[in-house]
Chain A
Amino acid sequence: MTEEPTFDASAPITGKGRMDTAWGSDSADQATVAKPKAKTGQVFEQVYVPWEGTLNPRWMRNWAIFRHHVLGIIRKGHRPWGVPTKLVLIFVLIASMTDVALTLLFAVIGEPSLYELWGVGRNNLYAHVLGFFPRNMLFYPLVAALLVGGVISEDRSNGTSALYFSRPINRFDYVGMKFLAVATIQSLIIIGTLFLYYFADILSMGRGWAWILDTFPMFLTTVFCALLLIITYTSIGLALSSVSRGKFFPGIALLAVLLGTKTLAAIVEGLFDRSILYLLSPYDSLAHVGQALIGTNVMYNHPWIWSLVSVIAINAVSLYVLSVRVSSMEVTRE
């Protein structure tokens, strides 16, 4: 009878022992090779593995929600944004940098008249954020519509709201992080390219401190207007997403609200020469506030403070609808 090899610390290391361990090549391998404990016919052995770790606090949970949405744009394994959304984001990002490219081009060419057209100035800063065509007719509302479409409505339709609310996440954090994530993606496009535009001008034209001190307040005001635009579009969009179960309706409804109200107000102004109806248009109210703050030509007849009140009211109503609808999201069933 073959003596069974031992594998304790004092045992000599031999090739035979290693082969037995690795391959069970010996006739006595029944005794030395690990045998599965699963019963015949059982595909796998079900062993519960406990976890001794500790859970991180609230900020880590909130970071997880934010990260899930933002990283989903560029990485697999996070929120699965649709391919059309990603393509539109790339297109708008590139299109938003046309003024950057032209500033660099004309700075290199050294043609002052063309540079005047594209260089940093009151009107061009305003146009980068609040210009109607093409940015606020084609780019930014479309980006907002594609981003907000399913952010809350799909949690309702997929039932993934249960995944959030059965965890230690309160509704404020849930909606706050989703808001922040969507606003951040828009900010990367709108404010990110605004920064590029401004600093491209400084670098390409070799601007000095005097020019920077002169234009920086104007630049900061434009950033503020851009934030106002992003917050307003996100508020309306998420409110629409929260009242829906799909992503089509919120997207289309956001475009309808932004462009429809402007069209209606433009028709009324054309027919009756009254601009007051522009107060119903989120874009026009934002544009009016932007014109007043940045200091470009004001194109509306009513006081700009009315438009500011309108922007605040639109945001308040949207956030109210959002909070009410998110409060009604269920864990047990939808």
Chain B
Amino acid sequence: MYSAKTMSKDLIIETNALTKSYGPHVALDQLNLEVQRGATGLLGPNGAGKSTFFKTILGLIQATSGEGYVLGHDIRTEGLEIRSKIGYMPEYDALDDDMDAIHQVRYSGELLGMNPVVAMSRAHTAMEYVGLGELRYRPISSFSTGMKQATKLACAIIHDPELIIADEPSNGLDADSRQAMLDTLSNMVNTGNRSVLMASHLMDDVERVCENIVLLHKGKLAAQGRIEDLKAIDREIEIHVWGMANELEQALGKDGLEVRREGRMMRIRHDDEKTTHRILKCAADTGAQIRRMHEYEASLEDLFIVIMERFGYGVKSSEDLLASPAEARKVDAPESMGGSGA
């Protein structure tokens, strides 16, 4: 019998100053993470420490210092318990091509300690769930990349884990397969009430499945929080101007508004609720016609670039980011658009 740490009800992963070094190379540097229940995206460029983070929270490698808990279990001493409760879907091929899909999934259940009969029954359920019910007796060698990804997911969910860790789940998939994979992950969170920690390079995928993100960079935590909250650091109003565009741009600048412009399209940083009124007043003063006006929502990719390039690698929650100076939050247009290119 093992003892589980009392974690906050909404947290599935918690780390305190978690550090992992390989000799002089620090792969994870003083990581303070709090991953909420639900779907969370783990973002970071190559070498950011995502794989090391996974191995550390699975209890496969020992942290150099600090502590961490997954589903209430200590990653330093309770790796086996953690791996019993999570479902891990690896990024790379992890299937025996010569086996039938159903038997591969059944075997993955047996490796968790399931009775062979129960494992077979659950394998049918899992294959049905991932959409391979009709193909389950086919050898894996005849599967497309999408089917293999789905089979890996079936292997991960056979024991109904509380947390599914999916490493690049849409890697190498075509549009339809990708959609199916993302829908399945979303379905697990929304109707299955499971949690998903999903690592991906594709911001769009993360945005479609996850409510929260964690950004890693060079082993440090760059940002964590709700995607909607983090996006608020980069809010702008986009207007399309007809006539007097130069005059309007100057007037907006004089009024203290930050403007990025490309031809007749301008984006003005959204400081507060009076921004819209100030833009309209400038337009009225200069005689410029505003043909279209709407809030421009930064994509997750924009946000990623902002955080990585502007804020360095310090720990940032959404509160920290929102409280940072306006100058630091400025995302300038490329030089071709008249910006500084920064």
Partner-B contacts on A (CB < 8 A): 43-44, 46-51, 53, 55-58, 60-61, 64-65, 67-68, 76-80, 154, 158-170, 331-334
A245 to chain B, nearest CB (A): 13
Decide: B129 and A46 in contact? CB cutoff 8 A: yes
Nearest neighbor of A55 in chain B, beta-carbon distance: B113
B207: interface (CB < 8 Å): no
Contact of B90 among A49, A55, A154, A331 (CB under 8 A): A331
Decide: A56 and B113 in contact? CB cutoff 8 A: yes
Task: Tell me which residues across on chain A come within 8 A of B107, comparing CB atoms.
Answer: 64, 68, 78, 163
**4 closest A-B pairs (Cβ-Cβ)?**
A48-B192, A64-B110, A166-B88, A55-B113
Show 6 residue pairs from A and B whose CB-CB distance is below 8 angstroms, ordered by the A residue. Answer: A47-B129, A164-B111, A168-B81, A169-B111, A331-B54, A333-B92
B4: interface (CB < 8 Å): no
Contact of B94 among A53, A56, A68, A160 (CB under 8 A): A160
Decide: B90 and A159 in contact? CB cutoff 8 A: yes
A160 to B108, CA, bound (A): 10
List which B24-44 residues lie within 8 A (CB) of chain A. none
B21 to chain A, nearest CB (A): 18
A93 to B130, CA, bound (A): 43
Nearest neighbor of A54 in chain B, beta-carbon distance: B113
List which B102-135 residues lie within 8 A (CB) of chain A. 103, 106-108, 110-116, 118, 122, 125, 128-129, 131, 133
Task: Tell me which residues across on chain A come within 8 A of B125, comparing CB atoms.
Answer: 49, 51
A165 to B111, CA, bound (A): 10
Task: Tell me which residues across on chain B come within 8 A of A160, comparing CB atoms.
Answer: 94-96
Contact of A162 among B90, B106, B192 (CB under 8 A): B90
Contact of B93 among A57, A159, A170 (CB under 8 A): A159
Decide: B108 and A77 in contact? CB cutoff 8 A: no
Given A46-B131, A48-B194, A165-B60, residue A80 in contact with residue B96 (CB < 8 A): yes
Decide: B113 and A168 in contact? CB cutoff 8 A: yes
Decide: A55 and B131 in contact? CB cutoff 8 A: no
Decide: B113 and A60 in contact? CB cutoff 8 A: yes
A50 to B193, CA, bound (A): 10
Decide: B114 and A56 in contact? CB cutoff 8 A: yes
Contact of B84 among A43, A55, A68, A165 (CB under 8 A): A55
B58: interface (CB < 8 Å): yes
A179 to B290, CA, bound (A): 76
A214 to B84, CA, bound (A): 53
B110 to chain A, nearest CB (A): 4
A80 to B104, CA, bound (A): 11
Given A159-B94, A334-B92, 19 more pairs with CB closer than 8 A: A43-B131, A44-B131, A47-B129, A47-B191, A49-B125, A50-B192, A51-B159, A51-B160, A53-B114, A57-B113, A61-B112, A64-B110, A67-B116, A159-B93, A167-B84, A167-B112, A331-B54, A331-B55, A331-B58
Contact of B129 among A49, A77, A164 (CB under 8 A): A49
Question: Which stretch of B181-189, B246-254, B333-341 is in the interface?
Answer: B181-189
Nearest neighbor of B90 in chain A, beta-carbon distance: A162
Task: Tell me which residues across on chain B come within 8 A of A332, comparing CB atoms.
Answer: 51, 54-55, 90-91, 167
Residues of A contacting B: mostly: loop
A57 to B81, CA, bound (A): 11
A165 to B54, CA, bound (A): 12
Task: Tell me which residues across on chain B come within 8 A of A164, comparing CB atoms.
Answer: 111
Task: Tell me which residues across on chain B come within 8 A of A57, comparing CB atoms.
Answer: 113
Nearest neighbor of B126 in chain A, beta-carbon distance: A49
Given A47-B191, A51-B159, A77-B100, residue A64 in contact with residue B93 (CB < 8 A): no
Given A46-B131, A165-B60, A332-B55, residue A158 in contact with residue B111 (CB < 8 A): no
A55 to B82, CA, bound (A): 13
Task: Tell me which residues across on chain A come within 8 A of B114, comparing CB atoms.
Answer: 53, 55-56
Task: Tell me which residues across on chain A come within 8 A of B91, comparing CB atoms.
Answer: 332-333
A67 to B131, CA, bound (A): 29
Task: Tell me which residues across on chain B come within 8 A of A165, comparing CB atoms.
Answer: 60
Q: Considering residues A67, A331, A333, which has the most beta carbons from chain B within 10 angstroms of its beta carbon?
A: A331
B69 to chain A, nearest CB (A): 17
Decide: B83 and A168 in contact? CB cutoff 8 A: yes
Task: Tell me which residues across on chain A come within 8 A of B204, comparing CB atoms.
Answer: none
Nearest neighbor of A174 in chain B, beta-carbon distance: B111
Nearest neighbor of A60 in chain B, beta-carbon distance: B113
Q: Considering residues B83, B90, B183, which has the most beta carbons from chain A within 10 angstroms of its beta carbon?
A: B90
A43 to chain B, nearest CB (A): 7
B326: interface (CB < 8 Å): no
Decide: A167 and B83 in contact? CB cutoff 8 A: yes
Decide: A163 and B131 in contact? CB cutoff 8 A: no
Task: Tell me which residues across on chain B come within 8 A of A163, comparing CB atoms.
Answer: 94-95, 107-108, 111, 155
Given A61-B112, A162-B90, A163-B155, residue A168 in contact with residue B96 (CB < 8 A): no
Task: Tell me which residues across on chain A come within 8 A of B191, comparing CB atoms.
Answer: 47-48
Task: Tell me which residues across on chain A come within 8 A of B194, comparing CB atoms.
Answer: 48
B80: interface (CB < 8 Å): yes
Decide: A331 and B88 in contact? CB cutoff 8 A: yes
Decide: A158 and B188 in contact? CB cutoff 8 A: no
B79 to chain A, nearest CB (A): 8
Task: Tell me which residues across on chain B come within 8 A of A51, comparing CB atoms.
Answer: 122, 125, 159-160
B319: interface (CB < 8 Å): no
A50 to B133, CA, bound (A): 17
B99: interface (CB < 8 Å): yes
B297: interface (CB < 8 Å): no
A172 to chain B, nearest CB (A): 12
Task: Tell me which residues across on chain B come within 8 A of A161, comparing CB atoms.
Answer: 94
B98: interface (CB < 8 Å): yes
A317 to chain B, nearest CB (A): 26
B295: interface (CB < 8 Å): no
A169 to B51, CA, bound (A): 19
Decide: A168 and B80 in contact? CB cutoff 8 A: yes
Task: Tell me which residues across on chain B come within 8 A of A76, comparing CB atoms.
Answer: 100, 103
